[in-house]
Amino acid sequence: MNRTPKLDKHVDKDVVLCRTTNRIVSRHTTKLLLEESIPFTMNWKRIPFYKRDEYNGASEVCVISINRNLYVKARRSIKGLNYQDRDRLLLNVI
């Protein structure tokens, strides 16, 4: 009798790691995640006109998502960014 492999409960469960409206900061963050071998997805989402005051007038926001299992490793690697880049990131806590 063959058993099917049991998958981890967090398979295909991505969580938002951070958001930013600055393209340079998003490049630095993705470069750092690539160096640490952390898989991620990066999406640019348009901000509606009436919500742009919340984002200081920016028209797009970059959302970086990772797998739930790698969240702690990614947060540790983000500490490697300089303080100016970290201040421009909005980190999500899960």
Residue 80: CATH number of its domain: 3.30.70
Over residues 4-21, mean pLDDT: 77
- Residue 87, domain member (yes or no): yes
- Residue 3, domain member (yes or no): no
Residue 39 to residue 19: CA distance in whole angstroms: 16
Total domains, the chain: 1
- Residue 48, domain member (yes or no): yes
Residue 28 to residue 14: CA distance in whole angstroms: 21
pLDDT tens per residue across span 13-32: 789 999 999 999 999 999 99
pTM summary value: 0.81
- Residue 72, domain member (yes or no): yes
- Residue 40, domain member (yes or no): yes
Query: Is residue 40 predicted with pLDDT exceeding 90?
Result: yes
The pLDDT score that the predictor gives to residue 66 is: 93
- Residue 1, domain member (yes or no): no
Question: In angstroms, how far apart are the furthest CA atoms of the chain?
Answer: 61
pLDDT level of residue 60 (50, 70, 90 thresholds): very high
Residue 52: give the domain boundaries: 14-91
Over residues 68-80, mean pLDDT: 91
- Residue 2, domain member (yes or no): no
- Residue 76, domain member (yes or no): yes
Distances (CA, A) of 70 to 20, 28, 31, 39: 20, 19, 16, 9
